[in-house]
Chains A and B, each alone.
Chain A
Amino acid sequence: SAVISQKPSRDICQRGTSLTIQCQVDSQVTMMFWYRQQPGQSLTLIATANQGSEATYESGFVIDKFPISRPNLTFSTLTVSNMSPEDSSIYLCSLGQMNTEAFFGQGTRLTVV
């Protein structure tokens, strides 16, 4: 199974600032996904991060708010921009490979004050 390291594990941020979350994998993966889990809610897919091309965003999520980088096949970042208290959530990265299970990072717990 793949090993995923997600940093930071938690952070408390001031509104109006931005936070970049990193996801590092110990092997090359084709797709990486970013999910958000708001308090008491389920996981919602934010975007699919492809290496070498722009991320594909789900309905309700835009690049200006959640810019994503995917510089290589083992690394991706998600930035939460111009944060407000409504952005307080757990953010998770996940791996996508054909015909294998989806692995998840341990998540980043973000609190915006």
Chain B
Amino acid sequence: AQRVTQPEKLLSVFKGAPVELKCNYSYSGSPELFWYVQYSRQRLQLLLRHISRESIKGFTADLNKGETSFHLKKPFAQEEDSAMYYCALKAGGYNKLIFGAGTRLAVHP
């Protein structure tokens, strides 16, 4: 079965602290994974994708096929990082996505 699991509904940290948002997936083929972010009152937008191996806004995510994980990390959280973060798995060739439940990141001053 195709599934994305984000075990934490809420992650609350102080500014400057490291952040790790967990994501595990279940997929029989070769997975393509994404992190989407939704800031308050804004539309859902792509943060990063595993095939790009890029760092966006200081965030990185490495695909670990052995652990079937795609955790999102940032060494020093900023208040403007506060948002909902969704891990997503591409389930088809045209960006048909399966989303995790989402994790709300709250960064306190």
A residues whose Cβ falls under 8 Å from a Cβ of B:
30-31, 33, 41-45, 48, 92, 94-98, 100-102, 104-107
Contact = CB atoms under 8 A, between A and B. Distances in A.
A53 B85 CA distance: 34
A30 B92 CA distance: 13
B49 interface: yes
A42 B95 contact: no
B98 A106 contact: no
A95 B44 contact: no
Interface stretch (B63-71, B72-80, B99-107): B99-107
Contacts of A30: 94
B101 A41 contact: yes
Nearest to A58: B96
B98 A97 contact: no
B93 interface: yes
A97 B43 contact: no
B25 interface: no
B46 interface: yes
B14 to A, nearest CB: 25
B52 to A, nearest CB: 10
Contacts of A107: 43-44
A31 B45 CA distance: 18
Contacts of B46: 101-102
A110 to B, nearest CB: 16
12 contacts: A31-B96, A43-B97, A45-B98, A92-B44, A95-B95, A96-B95, A97-B94, A98-B93, A104-B44, A104-B45, A107-B43, A107-B44
